[in-house]
């Protein structure tokens, strides 16, 4: 039988497309009135659509995205050239620091001698799309783009025109930085030609997981992906929501910030995925030394959350963007009454966090007062002692005002 870490590593790599007919809860990225939620130059809103002007360059979402399904309608003018940017970090040429899925009038005479990867639906320089499916210029087209792990699929007016694996594309072009990314902004990459977009909607997706393997190992899913059933949420905790398998916090502080399991647990192993769904303010925070002490302060993007164990705020496994990395147990590390070896043991051995916006897979085992944390396949906390931690209590998703997503919450009682 494979070890738990082997199962998790394999399932983290696995990815599949969402069936085109599958119903997803979509949310709008464009209100039809103004460019709220977007930033950039040279685009206007007219007749309920976003249109690129002669000065149009990049217009990108303020949010970042990882696994998702994006749907939109677009209208080409004769000879028009634009692009859909995915995994764009916000700087540099979107076709190279991220990736550009071409939006192009394939029928224009001036484009007849383009390279195969330059036609509509292709990933620029990386992968050619099938030259099919476009409606005549002047008619609205509908496009569905699925980005799920390393897989990218483009369906144009009901026809699949692109179906590729970024891992394979990256092997063929290892210098292309965008092909290595798994999160970033979504954007329209303009070239001054008029192209219009409307009905822009997105559905965030949870990363895939090998449910059969987890069940065989004795795990039970404790977040159903569709509701907050089994979790304590007061009326004012409406900023927590469940959608398409993702537990989301919108980043808005409320009187009751945290979400607790109704059930109490003793010794457990818990597996979950999490990712930052927004950006944070820049703040000065200390560099944490290997012995758990604080060093000089440096500027970091402040993102902070965590998982409470056994109903105890001190026994919290942190998810954050400090230099020390996630997995740290702040309450014990900062307790000067604890022995030096305790404070050092709850300090991560390495920062194993994925880049901001990407999903992190975490395994937490608490047996007695001993804690082990594995982050993205790397053990960062090993058999650390949490002296005096309660013997039993609920699990809690802690929140400090950062937009964060959780998914695939599975638990095994030991």
How much is the pLDDT for 93? 96
Up-side HSE of residue 67: CA atoms within 13 Å toward CB? Answer: 27
Does 258 score more than 60 pLDDT? yes
Average pLDDT over residues 134-161: 97
Average pLDDT over residues 8-17: 38
Cα diameter, the chain: 76
Does 80 score more than 50 pLDDT? yes
Burial of 267 from C-beta contacts in 10 A (0-12 / 13-18 / 19+): middle
Q: Range with the lowest mean pLDDT among 10-24, 26-40, 81-95, 124-138?
A: 10-24
Q: How far apart are CA 398 and CA 379, in angstroms?
A: 22
Name 103's bridge partners.
82
The pLDDT tens digits for 309-361 are 999 999 999 999 999 999 999 999 999 999 999 999 999 999 999 999 999 99
Q: Which long-range contacts (CB under 8 A, 24 or more apart) does 285-288 make?
A: 285/322, 285/323, 286/322, 287/323, 287/324, 288/322, 288/323, 288/324, 288/328, 288/333, 288/347
How much is the pLDDT for 233? 74
DSSP 197-213: EEEEEEEE-PPP--HHH
Mean pLDDT of the chain: 92
Which domain CATH number covers 228?
Answer: 2.60.120.560
How much is the pLDDT for 256? 64
Does 6 score more than 70 pLDDT? no
First to last CA, the chain: 18
Of the residues 185, 203, 221, the one at which a domain ends = 203
Which of helix, strand or coil describes residue 35?
Answer: coil
Same domain, 190 and 248: no
How much is the pLDDT for 236? 59
Q: How far apart are CA 356 and CA 341, in angstroms?
A: 31
Name 70's bridge partners.
145, 202
Of the residues 183, 203, 223, the one at which a domain ends = 203
The rounded percent of the chain whose pLDDT value lies above 90 is 86
69, 24 contact by CB (below 8 A): yes
152, 144 contact by CB (below 8 A): no
Does 12 score more than 80 pLDDT? no
Same domain, 254 and 377: yes
Same domain, 230 and 261: yes
- The Cβ of residue 348 has, within 10 Å, a number of other Cβ atoms equal to 24
Q: Closest by alpha carbon to 414, among 365, 375, 381?
A: 365
Does 297 score more than 50 pLDDT? yes
Could you tell me how many residues make up the chain? 414
The pLDDT tens digits for 281-290 are 999 999 999 9
172, 211 contact by CB (below 8 A): no
What's the pLDDT band for 4 if we cut at 50, 70, 90? very low
Average pLDDT over residues 82-97: 96
What's the pLDDT band for 186 if we cut at 50, 70, 90? very high
Task: Please give the angle made by the CA atoms of 29, 86 and 176, to the nearest 5 degrees.
Answer: 170
Same domain, 167 and 223: no
Q: How far apart are CA 69 and CA 24, in angstroms?
A: 9
How much is the pLDDT for 61? 96
Residues with Cβ < 8 Å from 3, sequence gap 6 or more?
none
The rounded percent of the chain whose pLDDT value lies above 70 is 93
What's the pLDDT band for 401 if we cut at 50, 70, 90? confident
Same domain, 57 and 92: yes
Q: How many domains does the chain have?
A: 2
Q: Strand 370-375 and strand 220-221: pairing?
A: unpaired
Same domain, 191 and 255: no
Does 20 score more than 80 pLDDT? no
How much is the pLDDT for 16? 44
Q: How far apart are CA 266 and CA 311, in angstroms?
A: 10
Q: Which domain holds residue 322?
A: 4-10+208-413
Q: How far apart are CA 123 and CA 191, in angstroms?
A: 16
Q: Range with the lowest mean pLDDT among 48-57, 140-149, 398-407?
A: 398-407
**What's the token pair of residue 378?**
């790397």
Same domain, 40 and 166: yes
The pLDDT tens digits for 405-414 are 999 999 999 9
Same domain, 102 and 238: no
Of the residues 188, 203, 218, the one at which a domain ends = 203
Name 30's bridge partners.
none
- The Cβ of residue 67 has, within 10 Å, a number of other Cβ atoms equal to 28
Average pLDDT over residues 362-384: 98
Same domain, 241 and 287: yes
Same domain, 251 and 306: yes
Q: How far apart are CA 181 and CA 167, in angstroms?
A: 10
Same domain, 301 and 363: yes
* Distances 12 to 7, 8, 149, 352 between C-alpha atoms, Å: 8, 6, 9, 15
Same domain, 262 and 347: yes
Q: Which long-range contacts (CB under 8 A, 24 or more apart) does 4-11 make?
A: 4/217, 4/269, 4/271, 4/363, 5/363, 5/374, 5/377, 7/210, 7/213, 7/214, 7/217, 8/271, 8/361, 8/363, 8/374, 8/377, 9/377, 10/210, 11/208, 11/209, 11/210, 11/213
């Amino acid at each position: 039988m494979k070890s738990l870490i082997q199962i998790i590593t394999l399932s983290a790599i696995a990815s599949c497309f969402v069936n085109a007919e599958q119903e997803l809860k979509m949310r709008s990225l464009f209100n039809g009135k103004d460019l709220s939620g977007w930033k950039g130059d040279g685009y206007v809103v007219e007749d309920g659509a976003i249109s690129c002007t002669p000065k149009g360059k990049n217009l990108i979402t303020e949010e970042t995205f990882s696994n998702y399904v994006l749907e939109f309608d677009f209208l080409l003018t004769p000879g028009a050239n634009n692009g859909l940017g995915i995994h764009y970090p916000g700087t540099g040429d979107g076709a190279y620091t991220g990736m550009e899925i071409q939006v192009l009038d394939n029928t224009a005479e001036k484009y007849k001698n383009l390279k195969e990867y330059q036609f509509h639906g292709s990933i620029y320089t990386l992968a050619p799309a099938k030259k099919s499916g476009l409606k005549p210029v002047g008619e609205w087209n509908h496009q569905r783009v699925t980005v799920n792990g390393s897989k990218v699929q483009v369906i144009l007016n009901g026809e699949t025109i692109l179906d590729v694996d970024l891992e394979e594309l990256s092997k063929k072009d290892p210098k292309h930085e965008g092909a290595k990314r798994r999160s970033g902004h979504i954007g329209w990459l303009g070239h001054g030609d008029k192209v219009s977009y409307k009905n822009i909607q997105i559905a965030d997706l949870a990363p895939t997981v090998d449910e059969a393997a987890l069940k065989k190992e004795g795990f039970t899913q404790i977040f159903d992906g569709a509701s907050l059933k089994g979790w304590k949420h007061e009326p004012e905790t409406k900023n927590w929501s469940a959608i398409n398998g993702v537990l989301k916090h919108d980043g808005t502080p409320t009187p009751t910030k945290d979400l607790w399991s109704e059930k109490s647990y003793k010794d457990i192993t818990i597996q979950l995925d999490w990712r930052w769904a927004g950006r944070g303010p820049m703040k000065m925070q200390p560099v944490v030394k290997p012995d758990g002490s604080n060093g000089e302060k440096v500027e970091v993007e402040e993102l902070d959350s965590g998982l409470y164990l056994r109903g105890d705020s001190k026994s919290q496994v942190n998810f954050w963007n400090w230099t020390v990395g996630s997995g740290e147990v702040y309450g014990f590390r900062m307790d000067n009454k604890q022995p030096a070896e305790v404070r050092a043991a709850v300090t991560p051995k390495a920062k194993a966090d994925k880049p901001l916006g990407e999903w992190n897979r975490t395994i937490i085992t608490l047996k007695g007062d001993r804690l082990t944390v594995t982050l993205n396949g790397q053990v960062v906390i090993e058999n650390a002692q949490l002296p005096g931690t309660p013997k039993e209590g609920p699990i809690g998703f802690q929140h400090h005002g950062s937009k964060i997503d959780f998914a695939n919450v599975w638990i095994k009682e030991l």
